[in-house]
Structure 1
Amino acid sequence: MATIKKTISLPEELYKEAESISNNFSEIVKEALSDYLKKKKIEKALSTAGVMKDFEENSIEYVNRMRKEDLSIEGKRIGK
């Protein structure tokens, strides 16, 4: 994996706290960014699942309505 250098700005207190835990600041940022990206991917997947759930429920309602309409038309056709 290629490595890039990037300048970032963050509060000094946050940097000092991170530095007190580890001398490898790059590793801390890499781990934090990786965790952040995983969290966002999960949130996106869950929000998509919610949309799909709504779609599925609406699809079921639509199909049921179409079946009722078909039965109604069929009933009228045969004189019920």
Structure 2
Amino acid sequence: MNIEQEVLAILDDAMSLKGRALQFSRNTVLLGALPELDSMAVLAIISGLEARLGLTIDDDDIDGAVFATVGTLVDFVQGHFSG
């Protein structure tokens, strides 16, 4: 499984970006740069990560730094697989 591609697909679905997110790089800024990334989208992303990737994410694990860039979100997800 390519975690980065899965994360991009989840971002695209959660924010209804119609394929735009699939072109994002690890350096793409998320928080503050995408008007679609609101609190409801954050919840949809977390739910998508849990459902699609089988993760269990505690509320205490989430802060703004996780959603700073695509790379920080991918690293967060990878940390759940290696942790």
Higher alpha-carbon Rg: 1
Higher helix share: 1
Give the TM-score, by structure 2 length: 0.23
Higher RCO (C-alpha 8 Å, min separation 6): 2
